[in-house]
Amino acid sequence: MQTDQAPSVAQTTARPNLSFWQIWNMSFGFLGIQYGFGLQQANMSPIYRYLGADEASIPGLWLAGPLTGLLLQPIIGAVSDRSWSPTWGRRKPFILVGALMGSIAMLLMPNSSTVWMAAGLMWMLDAGLNSAMEPFRAFVGDMLNEKQRPTGFAVQSFMVGFGQTLANCMPYILPFIGISMVVSASELTNGIPNSVRYPFYIGAAAILIAVVWTMRTTKEYPPVDESYKQHPVFTAEQKKSISFWHLALTLGAAVLAFFFAARLGGISNGLIWGVGVMAGGYLVLMLPVFKEVLASLSEMPTVMKQLWWVKFFTWYGLPLMWQYLSLAVAKYAFDAPDAVSNKAGFEAGTKWGGLCFAMFSVSCAVISIFIPRIAKAIGSARATHAVFLCIGALGFFLTLTSNDKMIYLVGMGIIGLAWGSIMSMPYLILASAIPKERMGVYMGIFNGFICVPQFIGMLTVPLFYKTLLGDDPRNALVLAGVCMLLAAGSCFLVKAPKAV
């Protein structure tokens, strides 16, 4: 395995061009992270339904994603901005820890016995994946010059599409290579079939393998100056307040929570509560970092403020796709509104929903290769993004035209074109407008822009799902299309630098 050499401090003042394979290696870990997100997006709503959750309650059960992202990503960005280890670098320790946490959640998720156990594991999974994802975004800003950043974000967008394609195609790939998906009903303890179970187990390994590849092949640039030493994460006075007793009490409370919850609900339930208590202690420990995040918010660049409305409408609508696409396919294309009235049809529908998400991811991967050229031809990242968002809206509206399962496949392929832009263009605009020394914290806050509208949507959609949306998952997809159009219009509120 060839390992890229770490650049010298002198080199870091002007980033040299990296080879394509250096950019590929530094983004390869993103493939594993996105495999995990792909499984989550395609399978969590069916898992909740297998375990007996009501359709209208689905958005509330997805709250883990936006809340963990909102809490973790700005903190990780701020801490990593002011960290450096000659051995581990700046961003890589956070990527590795997040990958380990996500892999553990992947192993436990398909063995959930109750809705709330699955919801708790989703919190753990999202915490791990979000902890790993934010540093990858900052990686591009750290390692690449402005000329190569479009390529860097495009490669990440390709990894998004390819990773999620693998995740969504697994129920079809595994039987093809001889792994049986059939299991008797008596062997299923929770109703979750092997077509869901096995891909999660594979996902646990995929996340770690991909992240370790990036860890081994990529060396981070050392800081240009030693400002991280003048502005450490914790001052000497704050370090004194982080006493042995704080750490001991947190660990003790986590152990007690583990044993108590495990006695009531099993080892997996105990792990969820134990990790949750430790996370609470971690957040208390990070209170000084919250001050840095708040200070960064007050000094937010104008372009970043203008991008808020683009992100708001985009991410109010997109979660509706992950929450309701598979349910709409099962209901209309396979005549299976739930797993009780028609279990075979519901399983076939959710599998086809997974294939639709695979088409979504394939089109994302393909278009990501051409997005830099398209943006250059149009002459504006802002206008390019608006065009792709309008295309995505058409894909959502297409799902309303027919009950044919192929319509959903084609519609998701069209939406995937917009997804390729969503995963690259806003980050390209942002990276050109924020100071390099605060790349991590602002990328974290920007990802918080993703979380806030998701949080608002998950709280508000259940209020009008049965009335305004007619208790119909397909109408939720139409609402997502309307949101894409509003996001496209908001692009023209952004006054991006001329370079983008």
Q: Among the listed ranges 59-68, 209-218, 323-332, 411-420, which one has the minimum average pLDDT value?
A: 59-68
Phi, psi of 223 (to 5 degrees): -60, 145
How confident is residue 430, by pLDDT bands cut at 50, 70 and 90?
confident
Q: How far apart are CA 31 and CA 136, in angstroms?
A: 11
Which residue carries 């960064």 as its tokens? 296
Is pLDDT larger for residue 291 or for residue 452? 452
Report the SS3 class of residue 404: coil
Report whether pLDDT(500) > 90.
no
SS3 assignment, position 187: helix
Q: What is the pLDDT of residue 406?
A: 94
User: Cβ neighbours of residue 78 under 8 Å, at least 6 residues apart?
Assistant: 233, 289, 292, 293, 296, 440, 441, 444
Q: What is the pLDDT of residue 39?
A: 86
Position 489 scores a pLDDT of: 96
- pLDDT at site 210: 92
CA dist 207 and 72 (Å) reads 19
Residue 141 CA, chain-centre distance (Å), reads: 19
Residue 43, C-beta contacts closer than 8 angstroms, at least 6 positions apart: 196, 199, 200, 350, 354
The band of 10, judged by pLDDT with boundaries at 50, 70 and 90, is very low
pLDDT at 186: 43
DSSP H helical ranges for 266-380:
267-285, 287-298, 302-328, 343-378
Q: What is the pLDDT of residues 432-464, one digit of tens each?
A: 777 776 776 777 778 777 888 988 888 888 889
Report the candidate in 294, 250, 304 with the shortest Cα–Cα distance to residue 274.
250
Q: Which of 83-97, 264-278, 307-321 has the lowest mean pLDDT?
A: 264-278
Identify which of 108-122, 129-143, 390-404, 422-436 has the greatest average pLDDT. Answer: 390-404
Instruction: Return the pLDDT at 123.
Output: 81
**Is the confidence at residue 159, as pLDDT, over 70?**
yes
Whether the per-residue pLDDT at 184 is higher than 60: the answer is no
pLDDT of the residue at 279: 61
- If you average pLDDT over each of 17-21, 100-104, 242-246, 339-343, which comes out highest? 100-104
* pLDDT for residue 428: 83
9 pLDDT band, cuts 50/70/90, is very low
Place 318 in a pLDDT band, splitting at 50, 70 and 90.
very high
- Residue 231: the pLDDT is 55
Q: Which of 44-53, 115-124, 304-313 has the highest mean pLDDT?
A: 304-313
What is the value of pTM for the model shown?
Answer: 0.69
SS3 269: helix
Burial class (CB in 10 A: 0-12, 13-18, 19+), 280: middle
* Residue 222 predicted with pLDDT over 50: yes
Domains and CATH numbers, the chain: 18-224+286-493 (1.20.1250.20)
Q: Which of 50-59, 104-113, 298-307, 405-414 has the highest mean pLDDT?
A: 405-414
Please, are residues 103 and 208 in contact by the beta-carbon 8 Å criterion? Answer: yes
pLDDT exceeds cutoff 50 at 8: no
Query: Is the predicted pLDDT of residue 390 greater than 80, yes or no?
Result: yes
Torsion, Cα of 483, 489, 490, 493 (10° steps): 180
In terms of pLDDT, which residue wins out, 271 or 153?
A: 153
Gap between the Cα atoms of 61 and 122, Å rounded:
9
**Taking all residues of the chain, what is their mean pLDDT, rounded to a whole number?**
79
C-alpha closest to that of 76 among 109, 103, 59, 101: 101
